[in-house]
Amino acid sequence: MATACQKETFSGRSTANNYNADCRSNPYFSGDLFSWCAVARFADQLCPYPWRVPTRQDFIDLDIAMGGTGSYRADTPQFVQDNYITRWGGHLGGFRLWCHILGDLEFSGGYWSQSLAYYFGAYRLGFHTNGNVWPINRGNMHYGLPLRCVR
């Protein structure tokens, strides 16, 4: 959690389609939601050495280590509960859209990676209570997602 994020507003994108480094608290779990720009700009402060922001490959490796395939699939809700929530400690905190709307609360979890996917998106890990798992999902950089540092 970051002191500057203890607020309820969020603006991950400006009206000119530029991306802002922003964050806000998440009222649904202990942690903050960051725009990808904030993760990229403040990676060393958010994940101080020996920690770092995970890569796309870290999420593939995590999924394989938990018995998955490392790619998108419709798995079982029990796999998500047993592995991503109970074993790994992931949260179903949803995400923040650039327009201040919290989405998919209590149903999905996702975490930023440092890896760019395309000019307005970055890779993220995603999982849903319906059993869907996205180890290498693409998310718009203006979304607000949690960050989980790795060693």
- For a pLDDT cut of 90, what percent of the chain falls above it? 53
Contact 108, 94 (CB under 8 A): yes
* pLDDT number for residue 138: 86
Element (H, E) at 109: strand 108-118
Q: Confirm whether pTM is higher than 0.85.
A: yes
Helix (H, G, I), strand (E, B) or coil at 43: helix
DSSP at 52: B
| Cα gap 44→60, rounded to integer Å | 23
Q: What is the pLDDT of residues 122-145, one digit of tens each?
A: 999 999 999 999 999 888 888 888
Over residues 16-30, mean pLDDT? 78
The two three-digit tokens of residue 72, written as one number = 């998108």
What are the residue ranges of helices labelled H in the chain?
36-41, 43-46, 56-65, 77-79
Residue 42 φ/ψ region, left for φ over 0, alpha for ψ in the -120 to 50 degree band, beta for the rest: alpha
* pLDDT number for residue 101: 55
Cis peptide before 50 (omega within 30 of 0): yes
* pLDDT number for residue 104: 57
Contact 56, 115 (CB under 8 A): yes
